[in-house]
Amino acid sequence: MKTNRIMSTAGVCPKNATKLRSYCNLMQSSLDDKWLFADDFVESHVCVIIDDYLNNMDKDKMNMSQVMIVINQSNKPLNHKYQISLPLNAAKIKNILNRISEESKFTPLNLTKTESKTVVNKFKSAFSKIRKNFFGNRGRKMAALKQTNRDQFISRITKKINPNITPSIKIVLLGSPGSGKTTAIQSASHGKALNSDVSATDSVANDKAKTTVGIDYADILIPDDIGIMNKKITLFGTPGQIKFNFIWDVVGKTADAFIILLDLSRPEPLSYLKFYQRFLRDELGKDSQVFCALTHSEKYPGDLNSFMDCIESEFQKLKGVYKIDARKTDDITILLSDIYPQIISHKKSILTSKEHLSLLKLKQG
Ligand SMILES: Nc1nc2c(ncn2[C@@H]2O[C@H](COP(=O)(O)OP(=O)(O)OP(=O)(O)O)[C@@H](O)[C@H]2O)c(=O)[nH]1
Ligand SMILES: [Mg+2]
């Protein structure tokens, strides 16, 4: 059972605060606790602060947090237990937060002990403390952001109560048997996907016990930049075996995008990429929103970086190449969050050109 922990990001610039928040939302399943964020100096379990400000930091503010994470931007030795260097990334954040969860003996916060009405009042009063003249130049900029932060905080809470789910997009996964389509959909949906796997009785049985004969399906939500789960994605997995390729047609026709899973444990993986790209172009006429995800990459005998470069130069129509482990929820969530905006903007541009066309027709008519 995860415990709710409050992290104040008031001591770092908004860019790093957003990074911390986004990464924590994306990798929720790999974190030992549930991290909630405050943009101001409120009573919290953890406060993140840039090393520049440490010496100037007000004692009262320092005492509001039980644990400090210092962003060591100067890379000089610092006398602090929890330090993190720039640039922030998922692995560093996960590592330090899980260490803190394991090692720290937190005492309950007043905020979390009291009744909900009092909690709201405490939040209000905490947010009403002005961060004026806060730590020099950057601090003043932060103070200017205060009003915006407060508005964002209120809008986040409102959206959490009544989330405004954006229109769903449909993504279809293609790839050879065993490339990880079913596994990826199960990981993305925390095991809640519907699948049509049966015991493999043909050549696939040499590789694995089960194979998909119909469609895998899951509706999932991924978080936006501020952590609200409002991006809806419908994922469809197809059977890898070519004898079931009529299903690729059925689900592919209405897809907004495709992810080709390329199993790097197979010989000549590029031939599969060519095969699926050709299918999408010739059979479906849909080769514009196609992404590639490399799986089983630990078994690839050559240099992975040059292989990825080679894909990017040979398959220029691909919208992106990613390395994932289909068994890891975070890998799939980060991949989907990354491709989501591209797919949405493409979808919008198609809608706009369709509207233009129908307007033209109306005018001509
Ligand atoms: N070592 C390793 N195993 C992986 C990776 N990704 C997936 N797997 C495993 O590979 C197997 C993939 O099986 P499925 O997800 O059923 O493959 P599929 O693409 O749905 O196959 P079909 O339905 O037969 O087309 C599972 O046993 C996964 O645990 C990876 O990156 N590395
Ligand atoms: Mg499958």
- Max Cα-Cα span within the chain: 76
- The pLDDT value recorded for residue 111 is 63
Q: How confident is the model at residue 67 (pLDDT cuts 50, 70, 90)?
A: very high
SS in 3 state form for 283-334?
HHCCCCCEEEEEECHHHCCCCHHHHHHHHHHHCCCCCEEEECCCCCHHHHHH
Q: Report pLDDT digits (tens) over 210-262.
A: 777 788 999 999 887 666 778 899 999 999 888 788 889 989 999 999 999 99
| Of residues 353 and 193, more confidently modeled | 193
Q: Measured from the CB, is residue 240 less than 6 Å from ligand 1?
A: yes
For atom 3 of ligand 1, the residue with the nearest CA is 296
User: Is the confidence at residue 325, as pLDDT, over 80?
Assistant: yes
Distance 107 CA to ligand 2 centre (A): 46
- The pLDDT value recorded for residue 198 is 72
**Which of 32-41, 72-81, 224-233, 290-299 bottoms out in mean pLDDT, i.e. has the lowest?**
224-233
Query: Strand, coil or helix: what is 40?
Result: coil
Q: How confident is the model at residue 130 (pLDDT cuts 50, 70, 90)?
A: very low
Residues 6+ apart with CB under 8 A from 179: 240, 261, 262, 263, 295, 296, 326
Question: End-to-end distance of the chain based on CA atoms, in angstroms?
Answer: 64
Q: Report pLDDT digits (tens) over 77-120.
A: 888 999 999 888 888 999 999 999 999 999 988 764 444 445 55
**Ligand 1 atom closest to Cα of 204?**
24
Nearest CA among 218, 211, 257 for reference residue 236: 218
- The pLDDT value recorded for residue 147 is 61
83, 69 contact by CB (below 8 A) = yes
Q: Measured from the CB, is residue 208 less than 6 Å from ligand 1?
A: yes
Q: Measured from the CB, is residue 327 less than 6 Å from ligand 1?
A: yes
- The pLDDT value recorded for residue 192 is 79
The residue-averaged pLDDT of 118-134 equals: 51
Distance 35 CA to ligand 2 centre (A): 34
| Mutation to probe ligand 1, out of 172, 176, 181, 183 (largest number of atoms < 8 A from CB) | 183
Instruction: List, in order of start, the domains of the chain with CATH numbers.
Output: 4-161 (3.40.50), 169-356 (3.40.50.300)
> Order of strands, edge to edge, in the sheet holding 229-237?
216-223, 229-237, 169-175, 257-263, 290-295, 320-323
User: Is the confidence at residue 131, as pLDDT, over 50?
Assistant: no
Query: Strand, coil or helix: what is 48?
Result: strand
The residue-averaged pLDDT of 263-276 equals: 91
User: Is the confidence at residue 364, as pLDDT, over 90?
Assistant: no
- The pLDDT value recorded for residue 179 is 94
**Ligand 1 atom closest to Cα of 295?**
31
| Percentage of residues in the chain having pLDDT higher than 70 | 77
- The pLDDT value recorded for residue 140 is 55
**Ligand 1 atom closest to Cα of 176?**
25
Q: Which residues of 147-165 are buried (b: 16+ CB within 10 A; e: fewer)?
A: eebeeebeeeeebeeeeee
* Torsion angle of the four alpha carbons 343, 345, 346, 351, in this order, in degrees rounded to the nearest 10: 120
- The pLDDT value recorded for residue 206 is 55
Q: How confident is the model at residue 22 (pLDDT cuts 50, 70, 90)?
A: confident
Q: Measured from the CB, is residue 25 less than 6 Å from ligand 1?
A: no
**Ligand closest to the CA atom of residue 181:** 1
- The pLDDT value recorded for residue 182 is 94
User: Is the confidence at residue 353, as pLDDT, over 90?
Assistant: no
Q: Measured from the CB, is residue 296 less than 6 Å from ligand 1?
A: yes
- The pLDDT value recorded for residue 202 is 56
How high is the mean pLDDT of the chain?
Answer: 82
Distance 143 CA to ligand 1 centre (A): 50
Distance 180 CA to ligand 2 centre (A): 7
Instruction: Please give the DSSP secondary-structure letter assigned to residue 158.
Output: H
Q: How confident is the model at residue 52 (pLDDT cuts 50, 70, 90)?
A: confident
176, 240 contact by CB (below 8 A) = yes
User: Is the confidence at residue 134, as pLDDT, over 50?
Assistant: no
Residues 6+ apart with CB under 8 A from 258: 171, 172, 173, 174, 252, 276, 280, 286, 289, 290, 291
User: Is the confidence at residue 167, as pLDDT, over 90?
Assistant: no
Strands (E), 39-168: 44-50, 65-72, 83-85
**Ligand 1 atom closest to Cα of 186?**
15
CA distance 72 to 48: 11
DSSP 348-363: HHHHHHHHHHHHHHHH
User: Is the confidence at residue 324, as pLDDT, over 90?
Assistant: yes
Which of 134-138, 194-198, 358-362 ranks highest by mean pLDDT?
194-198
| Of residues 160 and 27, more confidently modeled | 27
| Of residues 57 and 139, more confidently modeled | 57
